[in-house]
Chain A
Amino acid sequence: MKKGPNMVLMIWLLAFLGGLMWNAALFVAPLLRHETPVVSALIYAAFSPVCHQLPERSLSILGSPLAVCGRCLGIYLGFSAGTILYPFLRRFSRPFLPATPIFVLVSLPIGLDTAGSFLGLWTSPIGLRLAAGLIWGSILPFYLITGLYEARQLLSRKFRLK
């Protein structure tokens, strides 16, 4: 029984450190733009498949945009905020998924903003995109930690059976 919570702690640590490094890279890319442009370009390139990186939709540091747009930044910062909240709300006991109505509620701002922007109904400011992403991102660790815990259980059962 003791193995469960320890495994949750390990997965939480992985999510926390992964999120931290991911977010650090977003800020490091513009900061290194002039000192080490190759490293900076590599970071920008690494994030390019998952974000349009349009400068007019991104926050900037020292005159250079971050490696992702405002909405993506919100999601990733929200993810890290969620991992910090996780131990206070769930501790490290056996994880479980958030209730569907809560997911629908936190998805509403980003869903409406994204749909409206995509259909050309409005152009929301970066701050609003960031806030919508932040709200949605904060629930994601609760899914990821539960999912990875269950996936590990599944795989270990499967390989033990074989």
Chain B
Amino acid sequence: MNDHKPNMLPPALIGGAVAGVLSGIPFLNCLCCLWIIGGAVLASYLLAKDSPVSLTSGDGAIVGALAGISAAVVDSLVGIPLHGLNVAVMRRMMERLSEFADEMPSGWENWLNRTGGGVSIAMFLIGLFISAAVFAALGALGGIIGMSLFGKKKAQGAGIAPQNPSDRQP
């Protein structure tokens, strides 16, 4: 049965690219984790569309997690040219925060000035690793939701595999 399933990588890359770009652009990222979940739902939809057989929520979890990882890579890459803009947003956020907080950590303005200079490779890789773990978890969730919505195929003939019993209400 697994032989009939399409390759998971192209839908995961497309869903991840869409989610990564949208979550990486300042002002558009106000939807928070919903972009990642949405990208994984898109990956599930694309996988289910090309599949001749019904897919399970397990397929959704795998394609969603892959989409999450590719979203983390795209988000980090998009973040490089937008780094200056992100620092400006961060500065604005810290200034707003200083209105709410009683006292701010000393030297936060210097820290922002230093950060504005560029990103070290080590920090980039650590950030990418953390993003990949978090995005994979959220992506798996989105992929499962997407598969529950799009994964079932109506039986049209003998060649169509029956729907997985675990994906049904009893």
Chain A residues engaging chain B, CB cutoff 8 angstroms: 18, 33-34, 37, 45-47, 49-56, 60, 63-65, 68-69, 71-72, 75, 94-100, 103, 114, 117-118, 140, 143-144, 146-155, 157-158, 161
Most chain A CB within a 10 A radius of its CB, from B57, B127, B169: B57
Of B10-18, B45-53, B99-107, B153-161, which stretch is located at the interface? B99-107
Interface of A is mostly: helix
**Docked-complex contact B93 and A147, CB < 8 angstroms:** no
Task: Identify A118's interface contact among B30, B75, B143, CB under 8 A.
Answer: B30
Q: Mark interface residues in B136-166 (1 if CB within 8 Å of A CB, else 0).
A: 0110110111011100000000000000101
Contact in complex: A71, B32 (CB < 8 Å) = yes
A140 to B62, CA, bound (A): 16
Q: Are B57 and A146 in contact (CB under 8 A)?
A: yes
Complex CA gap A52/B28 in Å reads 10
Contact A60 B100 (CB under 8 A): yes
Cα distance, A147 to B149, chains bound together (Å): 13
The answer to whether B36 has its CB under 8 Å from any CB of chain A is yes
B residues near A98, Cβ cutoff 8 Å? 148
**How distant is the Cα of A148 from the Cα of B64 in the complex, in angstroms?**
11
For residue A11, give the distance in angstroms from its CB to the closest CB of chain B.
Answer: 11
**B interface SS class:** helix
How distant is B25 from chain A, measured CB to nearest CB, in Å? Answer: 12
Contact, CB under 8 Å: B62 / A154: yes
Do B148 and A143 have beta carbons less than 8 Å apart?
A: yes
How far is the CB of A128 from the nearest CB of chain B, in Å?
Answer: 16
The answer to whether B144 and A146 have CB atoms under 8 Å apart is: yes
Known: A100-B149, A158-B2. A144 touches B33 (CB 8 A): no
Distance in Å: Cβ of A7 to nearest Cβ of chain B: 12
Which residues of B sit under 8 angstroms from A99, Cβ to Cβ? 169
A100 to B57, CA, bound (A): 13
Q: How far is A140 from B145 in the complex, measured between Cα atoms in Å?
A: 9
Q: How far is the CA of A27 from the CA of B168 in the complex (A)?
A: 37
- In the complex, chain B residues 84-99 whose Cβ is within 8 Å of any chain A Cβ: 93, 96-97, 99
Pairwise interchain contact B144-A143, C-beta atoms closer than 8 A: yes
Give complex CA distance A97, B34 in Å.
20
Given the contacts A65-B97, A150-B61, A49 and B23 also touching, CB distance less than 8 Å: yes
| 15 A–B pairs (Cβ distance < 8 Å), ordered by A | A46-B134, A49-B127, A49-B130, A50-B135, A55-B93, A55-B99, A60-B100, A98-B148, A143-B144, A147-B140, A147-B144, A150-B58, A150-B166, A157-B2, A161-B2
